[in-house]
Chain A
Amino acid sequence: MPDYKMKILVVDDFSTMRRIVRNVLKQLGFENIDEAEDGAQALAKLKTGGYGFVVTDWNMPNMDGLEFFKASRTELSIKDIPFLMVTAEAEKEKVITAIQAGVNNYIVKPFTAEVFKDKMDRIFDKLAKK
């Protein structure tokens, strides 16, 4: 069961998308949400500490989702923070890359709150089992 007070970082270059994801998270009971516009900004924020979960889009300027994820895995303080990658249907081959790189899970847009919850639960279940 994830901690509902956990700070979650939502990353996407389109503010409407961030808002939509924020909305979904709120529906699931998460209120402590922060945002970033691209991978670089997101990485900087993660490093300041306190984040428990990351939801990130793939296609972004400056540093895309995959690069952001990989960069975070090299930092001791943040390398264990779970990542949920948001992707579109047609990017399946990229999803494979991401999963191979160690992304915890991916979710295809558009998604509902239920699907999101499902994905999140799976991530935390897996982590609990470790």
Chain B
Amino acid sequence: MPDEMEEIIAEFVTESVETLDKIDPLFVELETKSDDQEILNRLFRSVHTIKGAAGFLGFQSIVEISHNAENIMKKLRDGDIRVSRALMDVVLKSVDMLRLLLGHVRDKDGVQEDTKLLVLELQQALDAAMKTSESAERPEAKGNGQKPEINHPTVDSKPNQGLDRPAASPASEQLQSNATGRSPQPSLATPVPGSALEPAPSGDVPPDKGGTAKSETLQTLRVEVNKIDKVMDLTGEVVLVRNRLLNIVNRLERQYSNDHDVQSLLEAVSFLDLITSDMQLGVIKMRMQPIAKVFNKFPRLVRDISAPLGKTVNLKVFGEDTEVDKSVIEGIGDPMVHIIRNAVDHGLETPAERRAKGKPDEGTISISASQKGNQIVIEVSDNGRGINIDKVKAKALEKKLISDEEAIRMTDDAALNLIFMPGFSTAETATQLSGRGVGMDVVKTNVSKLNGSVEIATFKDKGSTFTIRIPLTLAIIQTLMVRSGNARYAIPLAPVEETLTVSQAEISDMGGSEALVIRGKVYPLFMLSKMLGSEKASYVKDADCKYAVVVAVGDKRFCLGVDELLGQEEVVIKNVSGINTNSSYILGATITGDGKVVFILDLAGISKNAFNLATA
């Protein structure tokens, strides 16, 4: 059954990679909690399991590496050796190698990796650790890794003869047994009667209970993402149809309120309304996963970055159970890695600098995720030196990203956002922290792709906080329907702060651009009709607007001038092919309750272009 085999291998790769992702942060945790039995158990089990499955599937290199890593984990678990940084370094190396090997399996690229060196390293690390323990004269230390640990004194009765084979040179033995495809021991003909011996659990690892309080047996199902997406798509369509039905039914109700059938129809559609909302929520939740999937990478990242810089970092993680859509999981990793790298490299001072400032040697980075209303809020904070706004401005000037005049006029908030400009952080990263994309503009781009925004707050010598906000549901949003000229547009509701009626007299002219003064603050005003070039309705005078919609995009606040406010509507965002949504004013389009196609405005795009136009 070759197809079956393909599927099994695919599942093996997915599951093994997931397992490695889950235990990655545990290795780092182990360095500070070296006696935590639960962590040790989990680590041992995970590597052991991967080895087992790999053995069945014939992936020799994977078996070899995991076997050697397992040996180390076993000794750690049983308390025969102690955790050390050197030991963890080599174990983490093997985890990386396993990932690499699994990648080759998945990609079927036939690439072989030379694992001899790593295997040797693992064996040597284990030997070294064993010697250290011996010299510390621990009573349970075994002289060598050759014999299996026998906890029961009367174990050498005949039926067990075949079992006494040493676990030495496990790699070669493993290869041997795999070659013959048969289990090396004879099966026991007679079970040893249970009364003969009371097994002493002393040397045995206690089965891990208690610590894993999650005894709720979660049933899970593996489902291909396309299947879920298809259902999401269909759900979106149902939402649109429901909107139309509601529309029609409401009209009917006004006309035929006494008709019995109309009343029944109204009831049925109300019910449909409720159920559709529930279904929508249910489907959205299907694609949601705990953000821990992303956060799990960070302990290791911080460890690997901070060491060569000579900095000690305390990483605190909060809210890793917060669930986010799969696309967020996929898209938020890179931006966060950049921000964290930045925090460790530039934000946190060296221990000496910190001491001089009266701060503890160890810097702290806090990462948190939470759901606030319709948004996911992710924060990355450090207690380092803060961002020097003057330096930022100077660098932007140097790279000719802004003019002298802009530099003077610019607010501090705006200046901070300069670091997101492409080209800002190039040669600055002369440290080893090169990576893929360059710097913070990658952050902004990737976050925008998720319809999100990122803000910075900073205090000199106290630290900085990056706040990323992402809408909870990506495909269905609440909008404010407006009319500008002859056309209707949908404005995403989340960034809308308020709406106002405006008369011509209230509009101020500030050097060619229009603005509104609201409660003492000045907001730029952009006429939607002018920006989008929609036809003006014939009865409307030039530049006359009746309503202003105040929106906030990132740290910018401005007003959009429209002719009429048409009310709130929940819409499904449909992509419009042929439009590059990165550089236009449109997020997509939707079909409204009355069956018409309406464009959904991209406020981030509008904001970018509007301000460029204004300063042109």
Interface residues of A (CB under 8 A from B): 12-17, 19-20, 23, 37-38, 40-41, 44, 57, 59-64, 66-67, 88-90, 92-97, 99-112, 114-115, 118-119, 122
Question: Inside 8 A of B523's CB, which chain A residues have their CB?
Answer: none
Q: Which of B167-196 contact A (CB under 8 A)?
A: 167, 170, 173-174, 177-178, 181-185, 187-188, 191-194, 196
Q: Which of B120-175 contact A (CB under 8 A)?
A: 148-152, 155, 160, 163-165, 167, 170, 173-174
Whole-angstrom distance between the Cβ of A69 and the nearest chain B Cβ: 11
Q: Does A118 contact B187, Cβ atoms closer than 8 Å?
A: yes
Q: When chains A and B are docked, how far (Å) is the Cα of A67 from the Cα of B42?
A: 17
- Is B412 located at the chain interface by the 8 A CB criterion? no
Interface residues of B (CB under 8 A from A): 1, 4, 8, 11-12, 15-16, 19, 42, 44-45, 48-53, 55-57, 70, 74, 148-152, 155, 160, 163-165, 167, 170, 173-174, 177-178, 181-185, 187-188, 191-194, 196-197, 199, 204, 207-209, 212, 214-215, 217, 222
Q: A14-B53, A15-B11, A62-B215 are contacts. A92–B183 as well, Cβ < 8 Å? A: no
Jot down 7 A-B pairs with beta carbons below 8 A, ordered by A: A12-B49, A17-B53, A20-B56, A38-B217, A96-B155, A100-B193, A107-B183
- Residue ID in chain A nearest B181 by CB atoms: A112
Q: Which of A16, A44, A115 contacts B217 (CB 8 A)?
A: A44
Whole-angstrom distance between the Cβ of A125 and the nearest chain B Cβ: 11
Question: Inside 8 A of A61's CB, which chain B residues have their CB?
Answer: 42, 45, 208, 212
Question: Inside 8 A of A106's CB, which chain B residues have their CB?
Answer: 187-188
Q: Which of B11, B160, B207 contacts A19 (CB 8 A)?
A: B11
Q: When chains A and B are docked, how far (Å) is the Cα of A12 from the Cα of B19?
A: 14
Question: Inside 8 A of B177's CB, which chain A residues have their CB?
Answer: 89, 108, 110
Q: A17-B52, A19-B11, A88-B48 are contacts. A104–B152 as well, Cβ < 8 Å? A: no
Q: Does A101 contact B194, Cβ atoms closer than 8 Å?
A: yes
Whole-angstrom distance between the Cβ of B154 and the nearest chain A Cβ: 10
Given A14-B52, A64-B207, 11 more A-B residue pairs with CB atoms under 8 Å apart are A14-B15, A14-B19, A14-B53, A15-B15, A59-B49, A62-B209, A89-B167, A97-B204, A99-B192, A101-B194, A108-B185
Q: Does A59 contact B148, Cβ atoms closer than 8 Å?
A: no
Q: Does B194 contact A16, Cβ atoms closer than 8 Å?
A: no
Question: Inside 8 A of B49's CB, which chain A residues have their CB?
Answer: 12-14, 17, 59
Question: Inside 8 A of B51's CB, which chain A residues have their CB?
Answer: 88
Question: Inside 8 A of A118's CB, which chain B residues have their CB?
Answer: 187
- Residue ID in chain A nearest B214 by CB atoms: A62
- Residue ID in chain A nearest B167 by CB atoms: A90
Please give me the 10 A-B residue pairs with the lowest Cβ-Cβ distance, nearest first: A110-B55, A108-B183, A110-B56, A16-B12, A92-B163, A41-B217, A64-B207, A14-B49, A97-B199, A59-B45
- Residue ID in chain A nearest B48 by CB atoms: A59
Whole-angstrom distance between the Cβ of B153 and the nearest chain A Cβ: 12
Whole-angstrom distance between the Cβ of A10 and the nearest chain B Cβ: 14
Q: Does A99 contact B188, Cβ atoms closer than 8 Å?
A: yes
- Residue ID in chain A nearest B160 by CB atoms: A96
Q: When chains A and B are docked, how far (Å) is the Cα of A115 from the Cα of B178?
A: 13
Whole-angstrom distance between the Cβ of B79 and the nearest chain A Cβ: 16
Q: Which of B173, B192, B194, B204 contacts A89 (CB 8 A)?
A: B173
Q: Which of B44, B53, B214 contacts A16 (CB 8 A)?
A: B53
Whole-angstrom distance between the Cβ of A65 and the nearest chain B Cβ: 9
- Residue ID in chain B nearest A95 by CB atoms: B163
Q: A96-B155, A100-B199, A115-B182 are contacts. A63–B191 as well, Cβ < 8 Å? A: no
Whole-angstrom distance between the Cβ of A40 and the nearest chain B Cβ: 6
Question: Inside 8 A of A23's CB, which chain B residues have their CB?
Answer: 1, 4, 8
Q: When chains A and B are docked, how far (Å) is the Cα of A15 from the Cα of B219?
A: 12
Q: Does B8 contact A63, Cβ atoms closer than 8 Å?
A: no
Whole-angstrom distance between the Cβ of B44 and the nearest chain A Cβ: 8
Q: Does B150 contact A109, Cβ atoms closer than 8 Å?
A: no
Q: Does A63 contact B184, Cβ atoms closer than 8 Å?
A: no
Q: When chains A and B are docked, how far (Å) is the Cα of A102 from the Cα of B51?
A: 27
Q: When chains A and B are docked, how far (Å) is the Cα of A111 from the Cα of B177?
A: 9
Whole-angstrom distance between the Cβ of B251 and the nearest chain A Cβ: 53
